[in-house]
Every structure is written in C-alpha cells, then in structure tokens.
C-alpha cells in the first residue's frame, strides 16, 4: 500500500540526497531528466499509479542516445506503489508493441517493464516518509527485541 506518494521531482530530490550526485536536473510536466557524471548515469524519472510500468520507445530512444553521446549509463527510474525501481536500459531485452490511446493522444511503441527486471532503490519508500523515520523504526525494533534477552550484569560469572 502506498503510504507516502511522491511525484517525479520529489523522487529526483531524494535520489540526489541519498544515492546520486546529480549535476543536472531538468523537471518536466510528467518526468524529470537527470545527469550524474560522478555516477555515470543519465536517467528519466517518472511515476506510475500502479505496478504496471510501460516505457515509451520515444523515452527509450531519448535516453539511450543521450547517454551514449555523454558516455553515461541510460537508466529508467520509476516510482510505483511497491517502491522506487531503476532499470538499466543497457541490460534489458525489450519487446516493443504498438499502443494508441482511445483518444489518439498517445501513439507510440511501448515495452512493458516488470519490477523483477529492475532494482529497488530507497528501500524505505513507500512505507516511511523518510530514511530517518525508517532507521528510527529499525533501531526501535532492535532495541525492543533486546528487552527479552538476558543481560550480563556486574558480578555475574561466565
């Protein structure tokens, strides 16, 4: 269950803070394009309302051509109800199918991406609103589990 829904700009900010060193972030209406020369990444960040992830061929071509020109790795990063996943486009064997929306506002080849083909990143999302909240919960859980463990006290012998 998605408890802390983020948009693509917020995901880019979290990745900047916790995973990548972006030298450029370009925000658009429904996605962000980011570059990290330090991490050798050229990425497209978006969100989907479910776990059904579709990569348009236009986005794929944009990413792979842009990354190749900059000698970076093309990555597709998507926020889903299961978490945030990244897909290294150099490693995927994509199957393209033509898709046209009912109102013809979208007409492009698309490839379906399964979560198993990606890597979950920022493992604390979406169950927690921040990494700090996640770490605090882990610490509290581990400390609470120690209450039932007999402790060595001064004067005890082995």
The fold adopted by the segment(s) 8-146 is: Trna Endonuclease; Chain: A, domain 1 (3.40.1350)
Question: Whole-angstrom Cα distance, residue 158 to residue 110?
Answer: 66
Nearest to 87 by CA among 99, 98, 73: 73
Pairing of strands 41-47, 83-88: unpaired
Model confidence over 94-121: pLDDT tens digits?
999 998 888 888 888 999 999 999 999 8
CA dihedral (21, 24, 27, 31) positive or negative: negative
Place of tokens 């051509």: 65
Between the alpha carbon of residue 46 and those of residues 54, 57, 80, the distances in Å are 11, 15, 9
Supply the pLDDT for residue 149.
47
Supply the pLDDT for residue 145.
54
Residue 3 phi, psi (nearest 5): -105, -20
Confidence label for 52 from pLDDT (cuts 50, 70 and 90): confident
The Cβ of residue 107 has, within 10 Å, a number of other Cβ atoms equal to 9
What rounded mean pLDDT belongs to the chain?
84
Give 83 or 96, the one with higher predicted confidence: 96
Nearest to 30 by CA among 44, 46, 10, 14: 46
**Residue-range domain boundaries for the chain:** 8-146
The Cβ of residue 76 has, within 10 Å, a number of other Cβ atoms equal to 23
Supply the pLDDT for residue 150.
53
């Amino acid at each position: 269950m998605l408890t802390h829904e983020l948009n693509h700009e917020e995901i880019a900010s979290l990745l900047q803070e916790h995973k990548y060193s972006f030298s450029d972030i370009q925000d658009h209406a429904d996605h962000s394009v980011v570059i990290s020369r330090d991490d050798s990444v050229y990425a497209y960040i978006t969100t989907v309302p479910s776990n059904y992830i579709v990569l348009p061929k236009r986005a794929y071509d944009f990413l792979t051509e842009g990354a190749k020109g900059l000698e970076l790795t093309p990555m597709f990063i998507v926020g889903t109800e299961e978490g945030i996943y990244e897909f290294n486009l150099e490693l995927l064997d994509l199957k393209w199918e033509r898709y046209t929306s009912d109102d013809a506002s979208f007409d492009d080849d698309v490839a379906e991406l399964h979560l198993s083909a990606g890597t979950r990143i920022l493992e604390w999302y979406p169950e927690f609103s921040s990494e700090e909240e996640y770490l605090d919960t882990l610490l509290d859980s581990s400390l609470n589990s120690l209450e039932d463990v007999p402790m060595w006290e001064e004067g005890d012998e082995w």
